[in-house]
Structure formats: structure tokens, C-alpha cells
Amino acid sequence: MKIQENISLKNYNTFGIDVKARFFVEITGLVQLQKVLELKAYPKKFIISGGSNMLLTKDIDALVMHIQLKGISLVHEDEDTVEIKVMAGENWHELVMWSLEQGYGGLENLSLIPGNVGTTPIQNIGAYGVELKDVFVSCAAMDIKTGELEGFDKEACKFGYRDSIFKNEAKDKYIITSVNLKLTKKEHVLHTGYGSIENELRKKGIVHPTIKDVSDAVISIRQSKLPDPKKIGNSGSFFKNPIISKKTFDKFIKKHPEAPFYEMEENEYKIPAGWLIEQCGFKGKRFGDAGVHEKQALVLVNYGNATGKEILALAQKIQDEVKKKYNIKIQPEVNIIK
Ligand code: EPU
């Protein structure tokens, strides 16, 4: 086990923010992870996996543990379904591609989401009408204090819209080491109701889509709207879509009848933050190397050498403008490390 010093994290976070880790170690096994957690010489620890949902605003004065646990194994199989266990350091999109090659359904709408498997339960990743919780069975997580492995089933994870126990009560207490998913082997349940998927399939003349067709459609849509983090630093949606009460919504829609919205359960409404931000004039705007993506206003980008503080300042400016113009508070989805 090699502990390195003063390592740049630029290549370890998809925003491409150049901050330094005081100490850095690659974690490739569970026993090694337990040993590292016990190291008294490094009392402060910081976990990084795919680095796709964080904004680093300063150097990390801690031992940064880069989770590289790998492997996919079969847990259970019957005629119709399969349960697989995927280690936390596997790349999410590569897992989706692998599942399609096996003919397993369930992950196709979640194609091309950046990041690694271990972080997917934290924010219950979602896209085009599907969320992780729809295929999730359980995950294993190591208690950072005791080094013990614990299991969390779906209920224990308390999943919500871009939310779970790991963003709340269990925040910073665990390292997710593996995730179990249940996928279909036949009679796949396709989710093609999302408008842009329907359009994409129609454009290609596909009437009876396969799971691969749905994945291809999602990939085309994402590539046309969302920047590739390998080319332009970003963390996907920077903000969550705000959820407002019926009372607030009624006032809002009366004033802005043209606004898009989704009706939720329990008298709540979700307003696309991308629309609010675009209406405030930020879409495609650039402030130095920090900017708002030209095709999707929900995504903040680093054109090269923006600092985390510059991105954060832009985010705050956007939040203030949206609040001023619409009296709606938008909250970051990305984990901001201050
Ligand atoms: N819109 C605008 N301007 C914009 C962006 C969006 O007016 O710049 C409007 C669109 O016209 C549309 C509505 O907002 O009416 C919704 O837009 P879109 O379908 O692009 O989805 P979104 O609500 O902006 C969410 C997720 C994305 C996910 C898509 C598709 C959140 C925070 N974001 O975005 O997730 O890919 O739906 O399901 O819920 C991510 O989390 O990193 C992410 C990319």
C-alpha cells in the first residue's frame, strides 16, 4: 500500500478542478480499506470514487482514499431475473453496457451517467423516467469508525428524488463498497414514455424497441444536450429541480403560464431548474473559465482552469437571480466540498 503526498485531484473529479490531496491512496481491496481506516497517523479521511458529483473548492487536508474496488458477480438467478453484485469502483456506464451485452434489462435509461457504481445510491441517480431505486436490491457499506461492513436494503436507504440516507443521517459515516441490482432476463419493462425518448425512437423508425434501442436513444439525447466531462469539466445537473407546494405553484403559474412543470404526488409540483436559469439569461454565459452550458442551463461547466470557488460563486449568483425573479429557491445537487 503506497501513500502518496501532495497529489493533484484534477483527474479524479469530472469538474476537472485542480486542488491537491495532502495524502492519497488507491483502495483496491476490502481488507486494505479496513487497514487504511485504522491508520492512526492519518486521522482525517476523504473518499473519492468517480468524482462525478462533487465540487472541490479547496485543497483536501486529509488522506484521500480513491475507491478502486472492482468486480461483478452473480448472486441469484431464476428464469426471469438476475441479481448481480457490483463492486463500488466499477464505472457505471461500463456496467450498463455490460448488462446490455448479457441481455439484462433495467439499466438502459441510465446509460452514459458519469461516475462509479458506489456513488449511485447516495443520490439515487435518475434519468428519463428511471431511478436507481427501481433496480436496487441492497448495498454494502463500511462504517468508517469501526471498519465493519453493514447491509442496507432498499427501505433502509430511504431513497427520494436525488436523495437517500447517505445524504442525510448516514452522511460521511460510511463507504459504500458494493451494490446489488435486480435486472430482467426477459419481458423487459421498457420506459419510453419520456418525450425525448419517444421522439428519438420515432426518428429512427423504431416501433418495437429493444433495451439496446432505448439505451442508444438515451445516449443520443444525452450527447446532444450534456457536455462530455472528458472534454469540458462538469458534474451533470448542478442543481436539483425545485419542488414547490400547490399554493406556491398556483401563484407561480398564474404569473408564468408558459413555464414547464411536472405534477408530483401529494400536491407538489416540480419546476425544471434549467428553465428558470435560462429565463434569468444565464444559458451559455461564461465568466472566465466558469460557465453555464449552452445546451442545458442546469449544467455548470469548467472551460479549463476555473477554480471550485469560481464555480461556486457562479452557482450562488444563479441562485440569487432565480430567487429574485421567481421567489423560488434552487438547491445544488452536487456535493460541495468547502
Ligand atoms: N429546460 C429549459 N432550458 C434548459 C434546460 C431545460 O427550458 O436549459 C426545460 C426543457 O425545455 C424541459 C424541462 O426544462 O421542458 C426539462 O428539461 P430536461 O428534460 O432536459 O430535464 P431536466 O429536468 O433539466 C433532469 C435531470 C437530468 C436527467 C434529465 C432527463 C435533475 C436535476 N436532472 O433534467 O439528470 O438527465 O432530467 O431525465 O433532475 C443529472 O442529474 O446530472 C442529470 C443530467
Q: Tens-digit pLDDT profile for the chain (338 aa)?
A: 899 999 999 999 999 999 999 999 999 999 999 999 999 999 999 999 999 999 999 999 999 999 999 999 999 999 999 999 999 999 999 999 999 999 999 999 999 999 999 999 999 999 999 999 999 999 999 999 999 999 999 999 999 999 999 999 999 999 999 999 999 999 999 999 987 899 999 999 999 999 999 999 999 999 999 999 999 999 999 999 999 999 999 999 999 999 999 999 889 999 999 999 999 999 999 999 999 999 999 999 999 999 999 999 999 999 999 999 999 999 999 999 99
Copy the grid coordinates of residue 182.
435486480
Q: Return the pLDDT at 266.
A: 83
Dihedral Cα 88, 307, 325, 295, nearest 10 deg: -70
d(CA 20, CA 217): 38
- For a mutational test of ligand 1's pocket, the pick from 53, 128, 298, i.e. the residue with the most ligand atoms closer than 8 A to its C-beta, is 298
Res 9: pLDDT: 98
- Best CA proximity match to 162, nearest among 116, 216, 125: 125
- pLDDT score, position 166: 97
Angle made by CA atoms 83, 84, 88, in degrees to the nearest 5:
140
Determine the distance separating the centroid of ligand 1 and the alpha carbon of 95, expressed in angstroms: 23
Contact 217, 205 (CB under 8 A): no
For residue 300, the cross-strand partners are: 292
- The reported pLDDT for the residue numbered 205 is 96
Identify whether 286 is a catalytic site residue.
Answer: no
Task: Give residue ranges with CB within 6 A of ligand 1.
Answer: 127-128, 226, 236-237, 240-241, 260, 272, 274-275, 278, 283, 296-298, 333
pLDDT in the model for residue 195: 78
Alpha helices (H) along 135-210: 154-157, 195-203
- From the CA of 334, how far away is ligand 1's center (Å)? 15
Residue nearest atom 37 of ligand 1, based on CA coordinates: 127
Ligand 1 centroid–CA 10 distance in Å is 27
Centre of ligand 1 to C-alpha 290, Å, is 20
In angstroms, the CA 253 to CA 32 distance is: 55
Q: Is 237 a catalytic residue?
A: yes
Angstrom CA distances, 127 to 112, 146, 199, 263, 310, stand at 10, 35, 16, 17, 28
- Give the pLDDT confidence score for residue 265 in this predicted structure: 82
92, 238, 275, best to mutate for ligand 1 pocket (most atoms within 8 Å of CB): 275
pLDDT of residue 179: 98
- Contact assessment for residue 72 and residue 98, using Cβ atoms and an 8 Å cutoff: yes
